Amino acid sequence: MRHFRFSNDAIDAASETQATHNPAAGGFASFEGWVRNLNEGRTVARLNYEAFEALAVIEGEKIIAEAIKRFGILTAHCVHRVGELAIGDIAVWVGASAPHRAEAFAACRYIIDEVKHRVPIWKKEFYTDGDSGWVNCERCAQPTSASDHSHQSHGHSHPHPHAAHPTHHPEPTAEAVVPAANYSRQIVLKDIGEAGQRKIRSARVLLVGAGGLGVPAALYLAGAGVGVLGVIDPDVIDASNLHRQPIYTQGTLGQSKALVLKQHLNQLNSEVDVRAYVARADFKQLHELASGYDMVLDCSDNFTTRFVVNDVAKALGIPAVVASVYQYEGQIQVLTPSGACLRCLWPEATRDGLVGNCQEAGVLGPVPGVLGALQALEAIKLVVGMRSPLTSHLALIDLLSFETRRLKISKHPDCDATHSAPARGDQPILEVLSLDDAIAQSLVVIDLRNPDERHAHPLTVAHRALGSAEILANPSLLDAAAGAVLVCAKGVRSRALAQELTGRGVKNVYSLKGGLG
Residues found near another protein in the complex (CB under 8 A): 209, 211-214, 299-303, 306, 323-327, 329-331, 345-346, 348, 350, 352, 354-358, 361, 363, 368, 394, 396, 398, 400-401, 405, 407-410, 467-469, 472-473, 500
| Angle formed at CA 219 by CA 252 and CA 375, multiple of 5 degrees | 120
Nearest residue (CB) to another protein, 179 versus 362 = 362
* Amino acid letter for position 369: G
First-to-last C-alpha distance (Å) of the chain: 37
Sign of the four-CA dihedral 240, 251, 323, 495? positive
Kindly state the smallest distance separating residue 407's Cβ from another protein, in Å.
5
Strands 4-7 and 75-81: parallel
Residue 219 CB, nearest approach to another protein (Å): 15
Per DSSP (E only), the strands in 136-251 are: 204-208, 228-232
Please, which residue, 105 or 328, has the CB nearer to another protein?
A: 328
> What DSSP string runs through 38-75?
EETTEEEEEEEEEE-HHHHHHHHHHHHHHHHHHH--SE
Nearer to another protein, 95 or 230 (CB): 230
Comparison of 38 and 472: residue with beta carbon closer to another protein: 472
Decide whether 168 or 408 has the Cβ nearer to another protein.
408
* Closest-CA residue to 100 (of 31, 33, 22): 22
Nearest approach, Cβ of residue 343 and another protein (Å): 12
Residue with Cβ nearer another protein (79 or 345): 345
Listed in sequence order, the DSSP H helices in 25-176 are 53-71, 101-118, 137-141
Nearest residue (CB) to another protein, 37 versus 302: 302
Instruction: Give min distance, CB of 280 to another protein, in A.
Output: 14
Helix (H, G, I), strand (E, B) or coil at 255: coil
- Of 92, 169, 166, 170, the closest CA to residue 136 belongs to 166
- Minimum CB separation from another protein for residue 358, in Å? 4
Q: Nearest approach, Cβ of 315 to another protein (angstroms)?
A: 22
Minimum separation from the CB atom of position 472 to another protein (A): 4
Nearer residue to another protein within complex by CB, 193 or 503: 503
280: left (phi over 0), alpha (psi -120 to 50) or beta: beta
How many other C-beta atoms lie within 10 A of the C-beta of residue 126?
15
Residue number with CB closer to another protein (199 or 306): 306
Q: Which residues contact 232 (CB under 8 A, 6 or more apart)?
A: 206, 207, 208, 209, 210, 258, 276, 277, 278, 279, 281, 286, 289
Task: Please calculate the CA angle 455-456-460 and round it to the nearest 5 degrees.
Answer: 70
- 241 contact partners, CB below 8 Å, separation of at least 6: 211, 212, 248, 257
CB of 346 to another protein, least distance (A): 5
Give CA–CA dist 472/509, Å, rounded.
13
Minimum distance of another protein from residue 106's CB (angstroms): 22
- Smallest separation, CB 473 to another protein (Å): 7
List the one residue out of 34, 127, 125 whose CA is nearest residue 88.
34
178 vs 370, beta carbon nearer another protein: 370
CA dihedral 112, 118, 121, 123 (to 10 degrees): 70
Cβ closest to another protein, residue 80 vs residue 280? 280
Shortest Å distance, C-beta 424 to another protein: 16
